[in-house]
């Protein structure tokens, strides 16, 4: 039973609707298989065709791929510009006056109402492609006026406002390398990233709005720059109008620079391999990893995957709810959709401000057609209750997406029923910061879906599952990538050895310790239909009495219980079994029933529920009820911190991504009470 997971017992299959398939870019599973086969037979020809059809090149490439594991170069000799592809080519077409960004601020202008009667009580800005082009050109000139040049690293530390996208596109226009830092990170996080990137310029704001309060960003920048004397200039966008310190000679108001800037700025033809951005991710060591992405290859991946996974059409209103501070926001809020000429919704604030129907209110008012969000958010919506989405007309939606972590079947079904009305295909996507874009996903007009499975790899992507020796495994194991792809990370900024060791030395390395197979760090299984079921990080695997259990499968079983809203599972040492299962559980509320009360009887009920779903080997040794789980600001559960609590040890490593430190304190207090 330990190797046959409850998730793989999933029997429900949802075929694409005939009407959707008829209008889709890829219309049938046979078409998908044909395209996938073409890509396998001649990958360089496949990617070259995509690059020619989907992007504008100032100069064609001389060679498609130079692959010297683990380093890849794509479209060698080609000249391209990301900003040009996202703006200029649309401005030269009928899309000139099409909405590029529809932005909504968090604070309402008037007391919040629900439903169609709400009207337009919020702060809303719409930028057409022409208007966005002008703003980007002006800001690129403003950057040049501050001394920014091609190859310089620019830190962007801003709230979710259009100016964040404008700053990114302006950097891309002139070849400056941007590094976006999420607006909730601390001053020390800024220091780490500025220092590692050797950045000399910072773009920030006085603050932003989140859950009804203003968050001061400039104070964090001021504190960080005490340790970063190499920063020459700081540009400050005025959002909240709170009082901040402006250092003469170093700090400049965004609006002052823009008032003097010319709207004419040609896009610089850049080498395809010119670095576009560095995005830092945190590891257990506390030292951030600067994931470096290229220009041409990355943009192709962003454009290609946005088009075929979301089936983008010119009349779509597309909303990816991710913050741009994370890779999902880079690829699927800014670069991918805008390169396709889509209309993108951006929202500044929290999903439950001023009440839990804010997302559904936005969808109703802006007639959103595509929604791409995280399983964590979906489970939160479930916890808040079905009555909130029922208050709104969500019939404009035609496609739903999931991103960030494996989605449990229970949440998948709730999403499909309560948000999609049973009619919207769901694209459950798997990818990473390092991969640059989606690699495994259903194609909505072609792929039958199974709740909880990311299904099959996209055409052009070669994945496999191997055991600890690197040999193909039918029973499940490590998810790996066998062939290079254009939007893959190029290196870790300034640390090629770490890049080799972490990603390319885990599977059958050569004598120099380097493999030609990319190690994702995720565990997965493949069913009889060739569908992939990603089980989570390989360090999220518990070995009980010699049997390997994925934490995702136990969490899925717990969340399938009608009283459970969310669950996180970790292992702790056990003298008898080697490891024991510890489950942290939050309970549901809403639907007029009030909060469900924790009890010993409910603990026993949940243990029995897991036993029935998976087997006695997966029965939790402990269940701990909690009001909330420790999460990053992007919504991922920080299981590493829960492992520390379960082990009774002090927290080590980086905690800068933790959204609410009080959650950790409460869990530790509860640990002390139990002991």
pLDDT digits (tens, 9 = 90+) for 281-306: 854 344 678 999 999 999 999 999 99
pLDDT at 414: 96
- Which of these, 555, 552, 550, 579, lies nearest to 565 by C-alpha position? 555
- The predicted pLDDT at position 220 comes to 94
CA angle centred on 354, ends 656 and 119, rounded to 5°: 130
Res 371: pLDDT: 98
For residue 385, what pLDDT is reported? 92
Average pLDDT over residues 29-47: 97
Residue 247 pLDDT level (bands cut at 50, 70, 90): very high
Q: Is the dihedral of CA 528, 531, 535, 541 positive or negative?
A: positive
Going by pLDDT thresholds of 50, 70 and 90, the confidence category of residue 670 is low
Region 453-480: mean pLDDT is 91
Q: What is the pLDDT of residue 576?
A: 67
Predicted pLDDT at 644: 84
Res 665: pLDDT: 64
Q: What is the DSSP string of 569-600?
A: EEEEEETTTEEEEEEEEEE---TTS-PPPP-H
Q: Per the structure block, which two tokens stand in for 36?
A: 């996938």
More confident position, 254 or 672: 254
Give CA–CA dist 85/420, Å, rounded.
32
Q: How far apart are CA 131 and CA 99, in angstroms?
A: 9
CA distances, 121 to each of 102, 118, 362 (Å): 15, 7, 11
Tell me how far CA of residue 525 lies from CA of 7, 260, 508, 536, in angstroms.
Answer: 10, 57, 20, 11
Mean pLDDT, residues 449-454 taken together: 95
Confidence bin at 1 (pLDDT 50/70/90): very low
Tens-place pLDDT, residues 608-663: 998 877 777 788 999 999 888 887 766 778 787 888 888 877 654 555 555 555 66
- Give the residue, 379 or 167, on which the prediction is more confident: 167
**How confident is the model at residue 79, as a pLDDT?**
98
Euclidean distance between CA atoms 331 and 312, whole angstroms: 14
Question: For residues 424 and 408, is the Cβ–Cβ distance under 8 A?
Answer: no
Burial of 403 (0-12, 13-18, 19+ CB in 10 A): buried
Q: In angstroms, rounded to a whole number, what is the distance separating the alpha carbons of residues 188 and 227?
A: 9
Mean of the pLDDT values across residues 24-52? 97
Pairwise CA distance, residues 317 & 331, whole Å: 17
| HEC assignment per residue over 311-377 | CCCCCCEEEECCCCCCHHHHHHHHHHHHHCCCEEEEECCCCCCCCCCHHHHHHHHHCCCEEEECHHH
Name the nearest CA neighbour of 461 among 611, 309, 593: 309
Q: Encode pLDDT of 61-79 as tens digits.
A: 999 999 999 999 999 999 9
- pLDDT of 225 > 50? The answer is yes
Q: Which residue has the tokens 């773009």?
A: 203
Per the document, the length of the chain is 675
487-520 pLDDT tens trace? 999 999 999 999 999 899 988 887 778 889 999 9
pLDDT at 577: 75
pLDDT for residue 321 is more than 70: yes
Token pair, residue 175, equals 């070849």
Does residue 430 carry a pLDDT above 90?
A: yes
Q: Given a cut of 50, is residue 110 above it in pLDDT? A: no
Helix (H) or strand (E) holding 533: strand 532-537
pLDDT of residue 117: 38
Compute the distance between CA of residue 96 and CA of residue 85 in angstroms, rounded to an integer. Answer: 13
> How much is the mean pLDDT over the chain?
89
Percentage, residues of the chain above pLDDT 90: 71
DSSP H or E segment with residue 491: strand 491-492
Give the helix, strand, coil percentages of the chain, each rounded to 5: 35, 25, 40
Averaged pLDDT for residues 88-92? 98
What DSSP string runs through 612-659?
HHT-GGG--SEEEE-S---BBTTS-B-HHHHHHHHHT----S--TTBS
φ, ψ of residue 367 to 5 degrees: the values are 55, 50
pLDDT at residue 92 is higher than 70: yes
22-54 in b/e form (b: 16+ CB < 10 A) is eebbbbbbebbeebbeebeeebeebbbebbeeb
Is the pLDDT at 203 greater than 70, yes or no? yes
Average pLDDT over every residue of 336-354: 96
Provide the angle, in degrees to the nearest 10, between the axes of the packed helices 162-174 and 129-145: 60
The whole-number pLDDT of residue 662 equals 62
Contact 406, 535 (CB under 8 A): yes
pLDDT: which is higher, 670 or 605: 605
Structure tokens at 563: 């009283």
**What residues contact 36, with CB distance under 8 A and at least 6 apart?**
456, 457, 459
Rounded mean pLDDT, 450-459: 96
- pLDDT for 11 equals 81
pTM, to two decimals? 0.85
Long-range contacts of 440-443 (CB under 8 A, 24+ apart): 440/532, 440/534, 441/305, 441/309, 443/24, 443/26, 443/32, 443/308, 443/309, 443/311
The Cα–Cα gap between 393 and 364 comes to: 6
Query: In this model, does residue 111 exceed pLDDT 60?
Result: no
pLDDT of residue 512: 77
Distance CA 237, CA 287 (A): 29
Please choose, from the candidates 453, 406, 402, 450, the residue with its C-alpha nearest in 3D space to the C-alpha of residue 567: 406
């Amino acid at each position: 039973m330990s190797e046959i997971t409850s998730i793989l017992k999933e029997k429900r299959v949802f075929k694409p609707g005939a009407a959707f398939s008829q209008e889709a870019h890829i219309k049938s599973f046979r078409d998908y298989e044909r395209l996938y086969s073409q890509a396998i037979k001649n990958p360089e020809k496949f990617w070259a065709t995509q690059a020619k059809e989907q992007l504008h090149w100032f100069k064609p490439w001389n060679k498609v791929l130079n692959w010297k594991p683990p380093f890849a170069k794509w479209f060698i000799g080609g000249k391209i510009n990301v900003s040009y592809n996202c703006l200029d080519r649309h401005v030269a077409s009928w899309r000139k006056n099409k909405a590029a960004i529809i932005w909504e601020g968090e604070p309402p202008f008037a007391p919040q109402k629900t439903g169609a009667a709400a009207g337009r009580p919020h702060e809303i800005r719409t930028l057409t492609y022409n208007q966005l082009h002008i703003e980007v050109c002006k800001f690129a000139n403003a950057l040049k006026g501050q001394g920014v040049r091609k190859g310089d690293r620019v830190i962007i530390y801003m709230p979710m406002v259009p100016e964040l996208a404008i700053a990114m596109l302006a950097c891309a226009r002139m070849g400056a390398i941007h590094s976006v830092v999420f607006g909730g990170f601390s001053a020390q996080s800024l220091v780490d990233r500025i220092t590692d990137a050797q950045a000399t310029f910072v773009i920030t704001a006085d603050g932003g709005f989140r859950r009804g309060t203003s968050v001061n960003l400039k104070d964090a920048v001021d504190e960080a720059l005490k340790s970063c004397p190499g920063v020459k200039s700081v540009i400050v966008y005025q959002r909240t109008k709170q009082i901040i310190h402006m250092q003469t000679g170093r700090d400049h108001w965004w609006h002052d620079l823009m008032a003097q800037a010319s709207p004419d700025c040609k896009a610089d033809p850049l080498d395809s391999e010119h670095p576009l951005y560095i995005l830092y991710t945190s590891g257990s060591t506390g030292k951030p990893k600067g994931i470096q992405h290229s220009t041409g290859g990355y943009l192709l991946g962003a454009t290609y995957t946005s088009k075929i996974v979301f089936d983008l059409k010119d009349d779509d209103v597309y909303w990816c709810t991710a913050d741009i501070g994370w890779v999902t926001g880079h690829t699927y809020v800014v670069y991918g959709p805008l390169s396709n000429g889509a209309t993108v919704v951006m929202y500044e604030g929290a999903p439950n401000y001023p009440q839990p129907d804010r997302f559904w209110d936005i969808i109703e008012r802006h007639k959103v057609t595509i929604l791409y969000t995280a399983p964590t958010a979906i489970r939160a919506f479930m916890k808040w209750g079905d009555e909130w989405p029922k208050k709104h007309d969500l019939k404009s939606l035609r496609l739903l997406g999931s991103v960030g972590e494996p989605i449990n079947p229970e949440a998948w079904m709730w999403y499909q029923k309560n948000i999609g009305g049973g009619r919207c295909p769901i694209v459950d996507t798997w990818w990473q910061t390092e991969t640059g874009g989606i690699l495994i996903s259903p194609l909505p007009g072609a792929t039958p879906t199974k709740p909880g499975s990311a299904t099959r790899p996209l055409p052009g992507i070669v994945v496999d599952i191997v055991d600890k020796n690197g040999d193909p495994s039918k029973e499940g194991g490590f998810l790996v990538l066998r062939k290079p792809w254009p939007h893959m990370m190029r290196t870790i900024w300034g640390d090629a050895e770490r890049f080799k060791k972490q990603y390319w030395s885990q599977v059958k390395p050569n004598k120099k310790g380097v493999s030609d197979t990319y190690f994702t760090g995720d565990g997965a299984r493949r069913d009889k239909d060739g569908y992939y079921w990603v089980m989570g990080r390989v360090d999220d695997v518990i070995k009980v009495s010699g049997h390997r259990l994925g934490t995702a499968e136990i969490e899925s079983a717990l969340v399938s219980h009608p009283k459970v809203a969310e669950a996180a599972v970790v292992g702790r040492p056990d003298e008898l079994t080697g490891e024991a299962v510890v489950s942290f559980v939050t309970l549901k509320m809403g639907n007029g029933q009030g909060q469900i009360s924790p009890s010993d009887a409910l603990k026993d009920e949940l243990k029995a529920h897991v036993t029935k779903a998976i087997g006695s080997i997966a029965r939790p040794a402990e269940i701990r009820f909690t009001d909330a789980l420790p999460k990053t600001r992007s919504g991922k559960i920080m299981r590493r911190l829960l492992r520390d609590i379960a082990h009774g040890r002090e927290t080590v490593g980086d905690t800068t991504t933790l959204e609410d430190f009080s959650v950790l304190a409460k869990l530790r207090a509860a640990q002390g009470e139990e002991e």
